[in-house]
Structure 1
Amino acid sequence: MSERRVVDPTARLDYDGELIGDDVSPGGAGAPLAWVERWYAEAKADPRVAEPNAMVVATVDADGLPDARTVLLKGLSAGGLTFYTNTRSAKGQQLAAHPHAALVLLWHPMFRQIRLRGAVTPTGPDDAAAYFATRPRGSQVATRASRQSQPIGTRAELEAKVAAEESRWPDTGSPADVPAPSTWGGYLLRPDVVELWVGRRSRLHDRLVFTRTGDGGLDDPRSWRTERLQP
């Protein structure tokens, strides 16, 4: 029996992203924050990009094996990038044991990607609760109902748990109606490496990498070395 192919090996798309250029200092010579902020703002304004703050978070498990999933970027500052999740989820437990991660923001219609790596620290319960209060009520209820990453017998069981939590917290219209569970937490990744990637024709992609050399923030040009990488 011949091998069945589920991916077309001949498929090609010739990327045509905008070149980064040799001047890498818009608003902060040699620092990555201005670039990340600008690219994110442009992705947010592009109607082709359905979820501009979707990003892949890669961690390692207890066996040192990679694990990755998509979450939403919820904070960007000179200090780093913030996201939120259940601290008892697979990624939460992995970050507790190995507090480093890699992030990928991919805006495919724009032929742009940002890769970041660094140490991850919890943001604290007050910060996590404050963000939780801004979430839609349905997301709040679902978060309380789900023991994220744990097995469950049927979808009906999960929906029953959601219904029970919905009844437990009467809807008065206040964002504080549904309190954050004790397992809800925020995480801040402080990058040591930030790579800007632009897809170009004939796979001659444009790559620029910022590598940390000091203790300053993402906006401090004295704390970063800039290099262009071959595609």
Structure 2
Amino acid sequence: LLRIASDEFDDALADLLECGRRQSAREVESPIVTPWRSAAADCYVALGSAERAVPLATEELRLARVWGTPRAVGRALRALGVSLGGRYGLELAEEAVELLRGAAEPLPELVPALLSLGQALQNAGQSQRAREVLREATEWAERTGAVRLHLVAREALRDCGARPQRARHTGATALTSSERRIAQLAAAGHSNGEIAGLLHLAVRTVETHLTHCYRKLGIRRRADLAVALGDTG
């Protein structure tokens, strides 16, 4: 996952396919245990080989429907929709979002599903709906502390011609949940590399968020983070 977050798709794909071989050797098929097929499908799509992604995503969806959990089925629907694209891909993305929205509690797969649906709607020329879905993705990513996906959602909004909301305040209360999470880890003594590993982010993403934190908090040094954050716990 860290390799995917760092856009190292070739290496990530090799790791995932090896994981799949080992799981098959142990006769482990459940997509709940290790959803390697959908992750590998995403890598193939990113590398421009969507035709190789389709069989993996199709098989994961088949297995996910056997197990029947919204998380597994929603993840597989999203992966297959991205792999196929077009009208059918849009329908699968809609189904994934509807299923994940209806879960008893928020699932981490909802934000990726919303992002995929937003992109599919934009590709279909439905820009207004795309912006609405991507705004929802941005809000959920911030609410759940999904730092990398929050950045992806904001960039997707810009690509749709929308202007993501900017922070209106300064000080600790102006930090997003993603920024606060990173700032707290940095204040606790973790290096940027350690934070990236803990949150499955690229180091550059951590650096960008810390820069935003420094500006909002009115500080210049990492050593000042603990004091600047202290008044809000």
- TM-score (normalised: structure 1): 0.25
Per chain length, whose mean CA-contact separation is higher, i.e. which structure has more relative contact order (CA < 8 Å, sep 6+)? 1
- TM-score (normalised: structure 2): 0.25
Higher helix fraction (1 or 2): 2
Higher strand fraction (1 or 2): 1
